[in-house]
Amino acid sequence: MLDVTLESIRGLLFEQGYITDHSIEMALFLSLKLQKPLLIEGPAGVGKTEIAKVMTQILETELIRLQCYEGLDASQALYEWNYQRQLLHLKASEESGISVEEKEKGLFDEKFLLKRPLLKAIQSPQKCVLLIDEIDRADEEFESFLLEVLSDWQITIPEIGTIHASSIPQVIVTGNRVRELSEALRRRCLYLWIDYPDFEKELMIVRHRLPNIDAKLAEQICRFMQVLRAQKLEKTPGIAETLDWATALATLHFSALDKNIIESTLGVILKDWKDIRAIQLSLSELLDKTGVQSKVDSI
């Protein structure tokens, strides 16, 4: 592992276009130095998953991602046997004259394993980054199983035996608070909460990712997003939507916002029809709070 410092982490984050703050830098630094998993929670679209990508750059290694979802079980996270290849192997060995016991032994060879993210991470020849994304979408039973793997860093495959980790992965766990996580998982991790950025931070992000965007347009976009997130919405837009909107408006060569532009592009930042309808009805009021004119003289 590279000899990281707080300053080097800050620089690497910036190089990847990730505008950070001291709490993020410190959490990453301590996670690396203490070799402990980092649990990151916060609203959707605030850059939690991006941190794992930055950690991969810091370690100059591979990113292995386990995307969690309802119904995820151990076989989908660890391994499965490639039954089709096993059947082909069995048919090919029918005329070989070997014993049934030898045939069975040959069927459960590691070459027939379909390695899923957890097994890949454990068998990685070098320290990798294991991203366990949106753990709160998985069932509590899977979370309990995951705790066992993270504690021992070994996997037992009945037909083969116990596989020990070649090196302990650097683990990033993310959650959107869809459900409350267990105390056992929280105790095993360092913790970081990432919230929506304030105006200054969001403007820095937009300018860094889109250096050629009109300065006035960038400011108006970020001010409007700050006001928008204060509304009661079904799906509050994150920084990802801000960047999508800024990119779209810059591509259309707009230099400032007005009511018509916002109305026609609301689908870039809002992904629920009720939200779009509510904002359309209150758009004049929002524009007053933002300081954007209802209509610009020219574009």
Measured distance CA(37)–CA(34) in Å, rounded? 9
Task: Please give the backbone phi and psi of residue 207, each rounded to the nearest 5 degrees, phi first.
Answer: -65, -35
**Residue 202: Cβ within 10 Å count:** 23
Contact yes or no for 27/192 (Cβ under 8 A): yes
Non-local (6+) Cβ contacts of 235 within 8 A are 44, 270, 271, 272, 275
The string of pLDDT tens digits covering residues 185-242 is 999 999 999 999 999 999 999 999 999 999 999 999 999 999 999 999 999 999 999 9
Measured distance CA(37)–CA(155) in Å, rounded? 18
Measured distance CA(174)–CA(55) in Å, rounded? 14
Q: Which helix (H) or strand (E) holds 51?
A: helix 48-59
**Residue 299's pLDDT is what?**
39
**Residue 149's pLDDT is what?**
82
**Residue 296's pLDDT is what?**
46
Residue that the structure tokens 């959650």 belong to: 175
**Residue 242: Cβ within 10 Å count:** 28
All residue ranges of the chain with pLDDT < 70 are 1-2, 95-106, 293-299
Residue 169 DSSP class: P
Non-local (6+) Cβ contacts of 67 within 8 A are 133, 134
Residue type, 127: K
**Residue 2's pLDDT is what?**
58
Global pTM reads 0.84
**Residue 76's pLDDT is what?**
86
Instruction: Reduce the DSSP state of residue 222 to 3 states and report it.
Output: helix
Task: Please give the backbone phi and psi of residue 53, each rounded to the nearest 5 degrees, phi first.
Answer: -65, -40
Q: What is the CA angle 105-107-109, rounded to 5?
A: 80
**Residue 136's pLDDT is what?**
92
Task: Please give the backbone phi and psi of residue 65, each rounded to the nearest 5 degrees, phi first.
Answer: -115, 130
CA separation (Å) from 280 to 246, 255, 262, 287? Answer: 19, 22, 9, 11
Residue that the structure tokens 């590279």 belong to: 2
